[in-house]
Structure 1
């Protein structure tokens, strides 16, 4: 694992913690970080996934899970991040980019602010 990926991971970890203060850390290792909701999802009887970050072989992945459930949130994805998007919820980074990270912070904050809609969509 490259030093650059470790640095990106560290920055994104802090970003996610600060942008989603009501969420709960459930995994925090040198290569994986996971936040889940403080409430239990009705279907799974487990806390719902909010987001996670993982160091992969050729990039660092940043997942914002409410994007999967809340279609309104997709309108908050800046075009600058679309180039980094893989699937519905994942954004991949090979280099640190403060401007993109600012956009990612705003998106994560928007997702966290939509917690009531997320609860309603997946059940509590």
Structure 2
């Protein structure tokens, strides 16, 4: 698991700017969880995204791509290959090009997330 710490740190740095704009629910050595600061219509905060160390990889969850799949249009085949499910990307190592693309996707996701609130 310790070899995944640098991957977690790099992905956490992609998600961290949105933690300061929203609300950080958890920030531990193996999980960074971000949600809306205000309650949604169901009375609970809305999940925005998270970075988590799993058994053999680090997962990057970005909920706006689940609710707005058009955000995935134009995604590189490299980043698509990292997708697990509809809103999760898994990494075992640091890939600067894919992390830059993920950063751009997260920025676009945040814009959609804020516009719908």
Give the TM-score, by structure 1 length. 0.85
Count of residue pairs brought into register by the alignment? 117
2:85 aligned residue (84, 87, 94):
87
2:113 aligned residue (105, 109, 115):
115
Give the Å deviation of 1:114.
1.1
1:17-36 correspondence to structure 2 within 5 Å: 17-18=16-17, 21-36=20-35
**CA distance 1:81–1:64, shift in 2 (3 Å):** same
> Structure 2: how far apart are the matches of 1:20 and 1:112?
11
Hey, which bits of structure 1, 4+ residues long, moved more than 3 A?
A: none
> Structure 1: how far apart are the matches of 2:18 and 2:98?
14
Aligned CA-pair RMSD: 1.6
Please tell me whether the aligned partners of residues 37 and 50 of structure 1 are also in contact (alpha carbons under 8 angstroms).
yes
SS of the residue aligned with 1:96?
coil
1:68 and 2:66 are equivalent in the alignment: yes
Please tell me whether the aligned partners of residues 20 and 109 of structure 1 are also in contact (alpha carbons under 8 angstroms).
no
Stretches of structure 1 lacking an aligned partner (at least 5 in a row): 120-124
